[in-house]
Amino acid sequence: MVILQRIFQNILGNVLNHGKDYLQVTMTTSDEKWLKLSFSNGLQAKIDNPQLLLERFKTNEPSRTNKSTGLGLNIIQELCHMIHITPNIEITDTDFKIDLLIRLNQ
């Protein structure tokens, strides 16, 4: 449960540091076997190369003015894999979304 709490802390920390305008959290189930938690928010700035953000120590701010370490999304992915959660991250010019697919009754 501690790992899941850390995942949520990192997601919400990213929203507070990089989000803009809104945060939407939804929860859905599928066939009573899967739970999908979705977090989506607007972005403060366009992300030039979204795939880089999944790597350690990569950020979208070359000047590092907000003191971001660039670990947030990478840690989220690693923690999800440790407890068999499938993360799916989508980034557009204006929006960020992460889905966490959790198998129920393992």
- Whether residue 57 has pLDDT greater than 50: no
Say what the pLDDT of residue 64 is: 44
pLDDT for 17 equals: 86
Query: How many beta carbons lie within 10 A of that of residue 95, not counting itself?
Result: 16
Q: What is the pLDDT of residue 41?
A: 95
Top CATH class, 2-103: alpha beta
pLDDT value of residue 31: 84
Domain boundaries, given as residue ranges, for the chain? 2-103
Note the pTM of the prediction, 2 decimals: 0.77
Helix (DSSP H) and strand (DSSP E) numbers for the chain: 2, 4
| pLDDT value of position 85 | 94
d(CA 29, CA 78): 23
pLDDT tens-place string over residues 38-48: 999 999 888 77
